[in-house]
Structures are given as structure tokens and as C-alpha cells.
A and B are shown apart, each in its own frame.
Chain A
């Protein structure tokens, strides 16, 4: 009796176990793709949505039968924003995990640290970081052979802002930026490109990323006769600076934020102070504001809804960069399979790829594939919501 019971119990257990482990779809083989993001550490606000986005897409692809019947396996390593860890992770992905391609890292610093590895081991790498130096070798004046990137460069956001200023007749601007890498790099581009657009920088103020108050800097700008203010920072300081700007009664001066402003949370936190603030944003930040016939409307709306459903938090620009990078690699795998050289050639010749941040047209001279005109929309905050600026 007991023996019978035990055997029935064992059978049931085995049955249940079988149910849970047996794959829903039988795959022919596995395509391995590596990912390195700063999932934890001070820059986790980049890596966290990137990882979540990539995992969501992999699940979606495998549930739909994988890539041509092959399972997509994503191997994610955390760099913690550290260049040495990024280097080790990419080396491991290429030499031990033998991945078809690598996406990431999240930061310009960590990306620059792994560019030599991608070149040495001849493995395609699609970075999710902004600096143009990741894909462009200043020494040879040509792009690196194996490296691509999906985010827009800072200079593109600056060109979008300056072009609009030229259109509305603004030629005296005040710059206020934080002292982080992001703020410093944006400030550098703002100053470098100003003469090209006949714009004079009349004030150049800075603050630390965790500062509680920027009234002093704004007061100085108030005395400088600027026709517009451009702020370049990420995190809560870009909201604090808006609140101080409103409190000081400066709202008659147009305010431009960088492309780091694209979170609805910022409008909410600014408590009304974000009204009429301009910002150049990628399509994925503001899918609702796009007209129905916009080429990116469908992909950005779907990503926004899927991400919200999966993680109950709004999408960010950064997750969008990972979306672009992974989908690009997936498209290559679909067409050429797991052949590193063929993937590289495929991405380099990709034209008209509709992504979250623009329509990518790669070429042998351009491994970013974006222009500011089609990767940024000038957005203005109207009635607490994003709207396209005319």
C-alpha cells in the first residue's frame, strides 16, 4: 500500500516536473547574443531599463518561435559602470560564451574600453552609449570596422536646438550644465557649435549633480541678457533648475532642456514649471505626440505599451537604445545566421531600419546611422504633456 502510494506520488511529481521543464516550442538550435550593461552602480538608471528591455524582447521573440526556428539566448553581464569589468565581460562573451554579437555597454567610457576587443576578436558590437568616438577612429578618420552605436550623439541634440533657435531668431544663449560627464560633454558641444549657428554664449554656469538649489546660477543668467537658457543635465537637478527658474520669474525667457529630459516624471515633478519648456527628443519618448502617419508611430507605441505592461514603469530613452541595438542584431541573425563577419556586413548595409530613436541608415562611413533631423523631434511641454513644437 505504502509502496503504491509512494510510486503514485513519484509519478505525479515526475509528471509535474516534466510539464514545467519541457519547452513550449522545440528549437532547432541556439543563437547566443551577449549584452553588457551597467545594471547596478551609479549609472544603473541607464543599464536597468536596457536590461529589462532586452529581456522583454528576447522573451517575445522566443515565444513567437525564435529566429528562424532558433532560440535566442541573451547572456547579460553587469559592468557596474566600470571599464575594467566591461572589458572582462566582453572578453568572456567573445572567447568563452562564443556569442554571435555583443550589445552594450551603456556608457561612453565603458564602450571605449571594449572597442579594441571587438576589433581584435572581429566580433560585431552595437554600443548603447552616445559619444561619437565609440564608432569613429580619430586617428584614421574612419569608423571602427566592427563597432556600431544606436544612440544619437550629443552634437545632434545641440544641432536640433540651435537650428530651432536660428529659426525663431535667438542669438544670445545662456548655458547651465551639471558637472557630470553628460553635462560636461553637452556643454562642450554647445560651445563648439555656437559659432556655426551665429549664436553667442552670454553665460556659462555649472552646478554639481546633487545640488539642492541653482538660484545663484540663474540669478547670474538673469543679469546676462540671454534670449534663451539651455540646461544640460540628467536626474533630479534638471527639475530643480526649472523650479528655481519659475520662482525667479524668468519664464519669459525660453528654456531648452537636453535630450535627457524625456521622462514624463520630469513634467510631473516640475509641478507646472515645465510648461513651455523645449527639448529635442527621440520618437520613443513621446509616441503619443507623433502624428498617426509617422513611420515610427507603430514601433514606439508598441514598445511603450509592452514595457509598461511588463514592468509597470514608463519607457526611457535608454531602454530604447537597447531596443534598437538588439533588434538590429536580431534582424541580422534572421538574414545571415550566426556568422560574425556576415552580421557586421549586414548591419553596415542596413538602410531604413525603423527603430525607437530614428530610422537608421548605416554605411561604411557612418556606423551610427542617424541624422539629427530624423532622430530628434523638437518637443514642447503643453498642458503637462508632450507636444510637437512647430
Chain B
């Protein structure tokens, strides 16, 4: 093994940071969809990711479906969980305030975690990588082929979502629900249906995140909470509700962690990301790409 140069080391930190960051970004995007429609933070977002990974293990490894079939099957099943979460926990709340809804999602996350523990046990599970495990070397840094899948899916999801929310009538209707649910229903938008759709979409995105990250980092029943915390941090850093912000926030968090661990101290790597988050919020409370005007009219 040749000795690694400092430049090679730095480049490896960057690559590692970007790849870890794209997982955070995908979780952050899921937070944003529900936030954009309901103004609540869905604390079960990490559990969607966990379910995505574990259900994919079931379809792909246990049942033996090929990747191309197991992938959509998993996404559909997790989307159903998202729909059920809305129908059973969010929708029946009679006088919804932001706080009660958030607490309902916390309850749902505990329930989903417990259910996953019963179904899959406490062991971690692995998935075969989509295109092999032979790492690619670029300027002395090593990249797993799976990382390209993670970043690729992230880009595709964000492009689709941006077009959906900016151009399509349903997307615009969903955004209207967040700004003013009463006015939205006055103009004929079915607010409850839009919320349902938001939960379905963010569950689907969570599932994609879980499926693509499991070959890299394995998946077990209690992984969700950590992902939710990191994804939430990324969403706040980039500006809640902004999709480009979620990507930027995720990548920045990942990169700071990686450089912090490599250059300063790996024991405090989580702290570096949080310090940067606090500093950004101090100077720009709405996040890097968030707009102050929009955040003023939000209830949360």
C-alpha cells in the first residue's frame, strides 16, 4: 500500500463528506415535503428510511425478487405506511395544532420502530450493492459505486419535486395548503387529501433513501432516529421548505463532519456540524436558502 498524500487525504474527506451528505439530504427532502404542506416536522421520517431498507431486504434477499421488481414494491409498501400514518394518526386529530401533529408523528416513529424490532429483530441487515462493490479510485480517493446511485437518486428526486411544486397544479395546491389552509379550502382544494399526498410522497422518498443507503451502511430497526436528527439539521441549515436548500444543507453537514473528523478530532465530529448549524442560524435564522419573508408567515 503506497502512503497516501495529504492532497489525496483531503480529496477522500471531500468525497466521503459528499456521499454521507447526500444521505442526509435525502432525509431532509422528505422533511421538506411534509413541512411545505402542513408546516409540521414529521419525526417519523427516519423510520420511513429504516422501513425502506428493511422491506427491501425482505423483498430482495428473503423473497428473492430481482432488484428492478423489489425496488418499486418496497417504495409502494412504504408509501402505504405513509398513507396509513396520515389516515390513522394525523387526519383523525380534530383540532390540529402544529404541536399536536408533531407529537403524533413522534408517537408514530416509536410505534414503527417497535414494530420493526418485532418483525426483523435487532440484527442489522445487508443488501447487495446495485452495481457491485469494486471501489473506483479517483486521484487517490476511493469511491464506492453505490455512492453514485445515492447521489443520482437524490438529483432525480429533487428535479422531479421542483418541477412538481412549481409547475403542476397539484403541486401548487399543496403549497397553498401550507400558506393558508382555510383559504385553500375556500378555493376548492381538498386540504386533507393534499396532506395525505404529502405523507405518501415523503414516505416514498424515505424508502428510496433507505434502499440506496443500506448496501453502504447496513440497516437495523433503530437507525431511524439518528438519520432523522441529521436530516432535520440539514433541512434547517439549508432553510426549511427549500429543496435546493436541503441538498446544500445535507452536503455541508456531511462535508463538515468528514473534514472535522479527519483534520481536527473524530470524537467531536458531530459537534462541528452542530456548531456550524448554530452559527448559520445566528446570522440567518431562516437557513441558507430560506427566505425570511416566507418564514414569517409560517406558524412554525
Contacts and interface: CB of A to CB of B under 8 A. Distances in A.
Contact of B1 (A44, A207, A217, A253): A253
B213 A212 contact: yes
Interface centre among A42, A44, A205 (most CB of B within 10 A): A205
Interface string A58-86: 00000000000000000000000000000
Contacts, number: 100
A182 interface: no
Interface string A232-246: 000110011000000
Nearest to B129: A271
Given A222-B9, A225-B3, A216 B266 contact: yes
A215 B23 contact: no
A219 B262 contact: yes
A206 B267 contact: yes
Given A210-B226, A212-B217, A216-B262, A271 B133 contact: yes
B216 A213 contact: yes
A216 B142 contact: no
By Cβ-Cβ distance, the 9 closest A-B pairs, closest first, are A212-B217, A236-B124, A210-B226, A215-B16, A206-B267, A216-B261, A216-B258, A216-B262, A205-B266
A249 B267 contact: no
B91 interface: no
B82 to A, nearest CB: 23
B74 interface: no
B212 to A, nearest CB: 12
Interface string B1-27: 101101001001101110110010000
B299 interface: no
A133 interface: no
A234 to B, nearest CB: 11
A45 interface: yes
Interface in A229-272: 235-236, 239-240, 247-250, 252-253, 265, 268-269, 271
Contact of A220 (B137, B262, B270): B262
B13 A219 contact: yes
B220 A219 contact: no
Interface string B129-153: 0000101010000101000000000
Interface string B212-250: 010011101011011000000000000000000000000
A179 interface: yes
B266 A206 contact: yes
B298 interface: no
Contacts of A169: none
B179 interface: no
A39 B33 CA distance: 38
Nearest to A268: B126
